Structure 1
Amino acid sequence: MDVTLKGEKFQTNAQPPQVGDDAPSFTAKNLNEETVSLSDYKGDVLIISTVPDIETSTCSRQTNTFNDKAEDLKNTRIISISTNTIEQQTKWAESKVLSSDILHDSDRSFAKDYGLYIEAIDKMARTVFVINRNGQIVYREVVKEMAEDPNYEEALSAARHEEAELN
């Protein structure tokens, strides 16, 4: 899939999963170096927010926005994933109160399995997935211009809709 970064075109390693697909299984490490997998979120609505580099302003804003919204969602868990090192993510998180999970994809396995890996810059594309409690993708946004923010309200609306289905 083609994406751009400040107008320069890049190609991801594959097509990201589509709405209606089962979310591909994955493992990544959290800030405590514990292995986290998709199955750890089974039964919850899940927002997966991916960012190219948590140390940039857009990625930091995206991670902050979803982290802040996590408190408002009752049956939704939010994870943010980047290819940053644990040291970079830990430094970013130092002054934050985390309501979401921050995962690092050091081996790029998540990025590759989800078709988001951009080898030319060793980053992952900016995306948001909402996964229902059965593990199916119900919302997907691949941000075409990686320097731009995703549509937060559409993703949150999809998560709220799934939460309403739980009641």
Structure 2
Amino acid sequence: MEERTGVFAAGDNQLTLLGPEISVGQQAPNFTVSGAGLRRVTLDDYAGKVKIIASVPSLDTGVCSDETKQFSDYAKSISDDIVVLTISMDLPFAQARWCGANDVDNVVTASDFKSREFGDSFGVHVKENGLLARAVFVLDKDNVVRHVEYVPQIAQLPNFDAALAAANEAAG
């Protein structure tokens, strides 16, 4: 499996990302993750929709929590043709508990804990700790990548405006 270094860090510690770097214009790889109640979730479940996919290390951390709450707030005012998914290694039960405690119901949460298929396919699987790196991908209705941001620092928020602009453009 491809290993990428020098693109993601936790403070001064450089971490290794496993998997390929995804680029704008390419067809997004399909993946299977676990949703609420361990339900199988794939890209096909959102066929015909624009997808904003936020990869985060853990919803139980401050930056990931803030990011997911902000995407949830944005999701209240975006087109019905756009869905926001947040994927982490947190178990689906913990994700559901976090969403309930934080009044987040506009974002679909899913876990990559079973197979790391999403992390390995989208190049966000962190070798050193098994978590996912912070990244945002926008896929159009045909799953063509329209925006990619691999956030370079674990404690840094993504560029929400760029992701939302790409999603709105893809939704037409």
Provide TM-score, normalisation by structure 2.
Answer: 0.91
Counterpart-to-counterpart distance in 1, 2:153 and 2:52: 20
Taking only aligned residues, the RMSD between alpha carbons, in angstroms, comes to 1.2
Query: Does the 8 A contact of 2:89 with 2:132 survive in 1?
Result: yes
- Asked if 1:53 corresponds to 2:58, the answer is yes
Residue 103 of structure 1 corresponds to which residue in structure 2? 110
- Asked if 1:23 corresponds to 2:28, the answer is yes
Q: Secondary structure at the match of 1:139?
A: strand
Counterpart-to-counterpart distance in 2, 1:98 and 1:16: 30
Q: Unmatched 5+ residue regions in structure 2?
A: none
Query: Does the 8 A contact of 2:19 with 2:119 survive in 1?
Result: no
**Mapping 1:1-167, distance limit 5 Å:** 1=4, 2-74=7-79, 75-95=81-101, 96-107=103-114, 108-164=116-172
Q: Offset of 1:131 from its aligned partner?
A: 0.3
Q: What is the aligned length? A: 164
Q: Secondary structure at the match of 2:29?
A: coil
Query: Does the 8 A contact of 2:22 with 2:123 survive in 1?
Result: yes
Moved more, 105-114 or 54-63: 105-114
Moved more, 32-41 or 54-63: 32-41
One-letter amino acid of the structure 2 residue matched with residue 91 of structure 1: R
Counterpart-to-counterpart distance in 1, 2:113 and 2:169: 33
One-letter amino acid of the structure 1 residue matched with residue 67 of structure 2: Q
Query: Does the 8 A contact of 2:53 with 2:86 survive in 1?
Result: yes
Provide TM-score, normalisation by structure 1.
Answer: 0.93
Counterpart-to-counterpart distance in 2, 1:52 and 1:16: 18
Q: Offset of 1:49 from its aligned partner?
A: 0.4
Moved more, 102-111 or 133-142: 102-111
Q: Unmatched 5+ residue regions in structure 1?
A: none
Moved more, 18-27 or 82-91: 82-91
Q: Offset of 1:128 from its aligned partner?
A: 0.3
| Structure 1 moving runs of 4+ over 4 Å | none
Counterpart-to-counterpart distance in 1, 2:151 and 2:30: 22
